[in-house]
Structure 1
């Protein structure tokens, strides 16, 4: 795992992922649990994307953003979970330095993209409820596409800077990453070169990419709540709030766990405690989002019922033709 470098130092070029638990009796139950979560995540998010594409009822900017969120959740889970599952079945879950940096690069991209996509979705709801007459102009297909494209470009820009400075670090202390995937803080614990700039960048980017979307969301929902309170009919208020409740739920679970993980000291003890929040936002949140939107959003529920009824009708027609 280590090669001799200049100055008789040992440079790590391969890491061992410690995983979630070192207890042998927990490996198979954890494998089965997270395999189930991953299957539900893939089915739920790809199903949500397919539903939005097939249903003309969901041909709105709000659901264009939701399909992008589902794509991000699918990719985020796929970047992390399969490697974690391998760790449950093997005695040593090894990952090369280039493989580690690649995993970290895409993890950062989709993590930041999710933060800003949730912010964009809040702005979309603000325009829809507070300025409904201007909605089709303000959130046209061109503007919606530009917003999502901008989110991905900005995420790649952030990830490229962070990875660029991570590549410059020399790892020569230990070769065991105290985590189940390659994450920023556990990797910095293994560095034998100065990590001040890296820690500063993580703090700056982490603060910006969490608080800017949160401020956007809070500002949007203050205006939304004020507009909802001005609606006289109870039915109108309920309908307006129902379009926002699923988004509020997704925001709460994602930002809560992400903020707990990154906006704190990078000590080993804190990293150990941070494994559970990271499990939550890398595996559980991507599974929950399509469930939240399908159960709490009436438009999605109606579209899903229509698709299922259409398939049942086709099946019954085919059976009749056969007999």
Structure 2
């Protein structure tokens, strides 16, 4: 009997450790996922453009293929690579984050440029578009997975930087949870977005009482997608700038990060209400301006070479 009680006591101890580990994983995954939210929004905003011009019957299969490629990027490539770096070269994580932040700044600045001067690259894109639908689909899927790899790398690196746990397996599982949850969330949302106009059209045709609502969905989706793309660009600039200033603060130059937070606190104190939100908003605006400047410089340097390479 004493042996059985000892065994039950050991099992109870193991259960407590396991429960604590599950709590650690959930807390780490939640914190990491929240920090990466800006890039997730951009990922959701970017992906619908890859099914533009594709037959409606191929939209969901394409999104499924892109989603599977995204999951492979995160779980099979990025997760083990980041854990190896975290274990053997932890000092590399911050510079990698900053490179990713610079890329986000570049992407954000390029999108702002396209908003200011739309259609500047339309002819070049048209010249390189295959006429065969199957080849067009393959090209778009491959392009989407390449873009996703960069965004996924940023999401996973941001997530890893937020996971504070000494256990490698807790880090690994938390990172896997973030990767799977983000992929399902992004591509589930994208699938809904690209089909919402079809849903609205179906509602309008099948139910006279829902015709007005259905047609409102059809008419409203282009505006919603444009708004989502704009929000995604703002999120990209905010996250990119925050990564750059935070990385500088941790490495060689603390002044930008500390100055921004000093300004944010001063403005929040002057406003006197919604202190936390005002601090975040001022810091986000400053980070976004920094990212726009950095990204604009990268665009100015790289675009002439890219145009020469295209010709």
Which has the larger share of strand?
1
TM-score (norm: length of structure 2): 0.28
